[in-house]
Amino acid sequence: MKKNNRLVVSFNGQEGSGKSTIAKMVAEKLKCPRYYMGQMFRDMAKEKGLDLVEFRKICDNNPDFDKSVDDYVIKLSKEQTNFVIESRTAWHFIPDSLKIYLKVEPAVAAQRILRSILSEKSRSNEDSGLDTAENIKKSILKRRKEDSERYFSLYGIHQDYEENYDFIMDTTELTVEEVFLGVMRFIESEK
């Protein structure tokens, strides 16, 4: 929430819900920086020469990677005034943020992710098995479970519980513009 001239908007949500697209649009509209922890995670995997599935397996047994990302989130919170952040845990580590959660039906998410994989080089280190919508849907459901277990194990939190958020939107049947307008209406109402 906006306190002492500070506006931090934290995004979390399900894969394929449009988090990154909407967070970019919100940051642009608010004229503030956007921090994407998912890219930081992808970059760590790439540095190790691993795809994300392999890297997540390592992270399951070594919390140092998650904690380094979360330490960065905490540092940002202390050093920055206005920003947008995408992170599984920012809602927890930045309690004064406007906490937004986007959700989507797995079949729709799979179609969106497949389109993204086929068109974006930035997702080149995704699991090579993510070549069909059905494989992606299976991966999404597996990852939701694993992420939930991992963050509960690390911090005792349920990052996917909707009651942790100030604003929840199901993007399954909505256009990007409709989601953006809904999110911006919420942010404006909280300023």
Query: b/e per residue, 114-140, with b = 16+ CB within 10 A?
Result: bebbeeeeeeebbbeebeebeebbebb
- Tell me how far apart the alpha carbons of residues 110 and 105 are, in angstroms, rounded to a whole number: 9
**Reported pTM:** 0.87
Determine the pLDDT at residue 4: 61
Q: What is the pLDDT along the chain (191 residues), one digit of tens a residue?
A: 445 678 999 999 999 999 999 999 999 999 999 999 888 878 888 888 888 778 878 877 888 888 888 899 999 999 999 999 999 999 999 999 999 999 999 999 999 988 888 886 545 545 556 778 888 899 889 888 988 988 999 899 999 899 999 999 999 999 999 999 999 999 999 97
User: What CATH number was assigned to the domain covering residues 7-190?
Assistant: 3.40.50.300
Residue for token digits 């069909």?
132
pLDDT of amino acid 147: 86
Under 8 Å between Cβ of 28 and 104:
no
Residue 31, by phi and psi: left (phi above 0), alpha (psi -120 to 50) or beta? Answer: left
pLDDT of residue 44: 82
